[in-house]
Copies of this chain bind each other. A is one copy, B any other.
Amino acid sequence: MQFTAKDIAFMLNGTVEGDPLAAVSQLAKIEEAQQGSLSFLANPKYEQYLYTTDASIVIINKSQQLTGPVKASLIRVENAYNAFTLLLEQYNTLKLNKKGIEQPSFIHTSAQIGQDAYIGAFAYISQNVKLGANCKVYPNCYIADNVTLGDNVTLFPGVTVYFDCVIGNNVIIHSGSVIGSDGFGFAPKPDGTYNKIPQIGNVIIEDDVEIGSNTTVDRATMGSTIIHKGTKLDNLVQIAHNVEIGENTVIAAQTGIAGSTKLEANVMLGGQVGIVGHISIAKGTQVQAQSGVSRPIKQEGLKWGGSPALLYGDNMRSNVVVSRLPELEKRVLELEKIITELKNK
């Protein structure tokens, strides 16, 4: 796919300076761009690259002053950053523009597939599944009995959704993630073995949620594990049974949340964080990477760090002292010696 400066200026309602037939086939950062690339300049910090870039076309703000000769063709628009983001989105839409039902795939006769669906080869759509409009189910996905997907849902290759789960609109789930596997529930018996506690609940994923690759979200024992609207989970995240995650929460990779814990809205968790089961985390809480939260957080909007987690500043200060603990111990020893001398005087 090749586009000329003229084409792109037309799309963006901009004006061309330089060769209107300059052609590009990819998008790149201005400092890394090679010939045939389209780039943009929005941040004045990067202006120097405008005069040295190998990009064939650069989108710039209408108001941008030039202080030297520019090799690339320029497209002037109201807001270069927004214009470029628009192109990124259109590029992505083109790249992921799959349509139709490939064979062999398995679609149960009782399943309902909305309009303009993509069902990849080797995808499995089971009994009573309902897919809204514009869903994309890539190859090797498995959607079990009675699962419902809203409109514009994308399941990348190899996603598994267990029975009875409910997925809203505009949800994106990346490869290898598993939604609705059994919660980890076993009742110890007197002889040391365990009875499995049946996990008969489901998972509800609301609109506009995105889930990374190889993440696991367990079904509830009874009731639902819930991921509310607009929340984003990174890769390799573990969400245990009966957890509830509030709206617009962001959870980085390899973080785990134990059973029945409830996060309120707008929480931000760094990577490799652990949160114990059966607690509540207040709205707007932020937790630093690798922290461990073992007690409820009731006050909203605070920042935490460490394992076990302390308030961010307290943890920072404790960490500093930890790093000089051997020295501190020596100082105490020294004091003890002096005191003994003083006492013996």
Contacts and interface: CB of A to CB of B under 8 A. Distances in A.
A244 interface: no
A274 B274 contact: no
A290 B271 contact: no
A210 B196 contact: yes
Interface stretch (A9-17, A70-78, A314-322): A314-322
A88 interface: yes
B212 A181 contact: yes
Chain B CB count within 10 A is highest, among A29, A145, A158, A314, for A158
A272 to B, nearest CB: 5
A300 interface: no
Q: How large is the interface on A (under 10, 10 to 19, 20 to 34, 35 or more residues)?
A: 35 or more
A308 interface: yes
A112 interface: no
B310 A318 contact: no
Interface of A: 27-29, 32, 85, 88-89, 91-92, 95, 102, 104, 106, 120-122, 124, 138-140, 142, 144-145, 156-158, 160, 162-164, 172, 174-176, 178, 181-182, 184, 186, 192-194, 196-200, 208, 210, 212-214, 216, 218, 222-223, 230, 232, 234-236, 238, 240, 247-248, 250, 252-254, 256, 258, 265-266, 271-272, 274, 276, 289-290, 292, 294, 307-308, 310, 314, 317-323, 325-326, 328-329, 331-332, 335-336, 338-339, 342-343
